[in-house]
Amino acid sequence: MGIASTRCESCGLPVHSYRYCAHCTDEYGNLQSFDMRLESIVAEWEVEHPHLTYHEAREQAKHFMAQMPAWRDHPRIVGLRRAEAGFVRRNDTVGLRPNDPVGPTHGVPSPDIPHTSGLGMGFQGPR
């Protein structure tokens, strides 16, 4: 009879008896930081997919991490999901891409769009 295998909650690799694999933990068995894991995944994906730019690999890595139990409630992942859904606060721009729409309907006033939401942010639009 073999040992039952489960998946690492951080990266999805098979593990036998722990929540995280050896790649996702430090020397004491503690989960590495979000940034360490993100950069590690990005570096791996840049090697496996040389056609991806660093920024493309980083965005895909964040989407991958959003599916993992260890990271799905991390503030930067939650911010990414909210940004993609169009719910962005003034200081919550994690995960935005350069051409993402940002304006009154997305929670941040844009100088190109008259401010009519009544949020009292003071922007009156072009005169």
CA distance 74 to 62: 11
CA distance 110 to 119: 13
Nearest to 18, CA basis, from 7, 3, 32, 34: 7
DSSP string, 32-71: PPHHHHHHHHHHHHHHH-TTS-HHHHHHHHHHHHHTSTTT
Average pLDDT estimate for 74-98: 65
pLDDT for 87 equals 62
Span 44-83, pLDDT tens digits: 999 999 999 999 999 999 999 999 999 999 998 887 777 7
pLDDT for 77 equals 87
pLDDT for 58 equals 94
The percentage of residues in the chain with a pLDDT greater than 90, rounded to a whole number, is 52
Of 26-40, 62-76, 84-98, least confident by mean pLDDT is 84-98
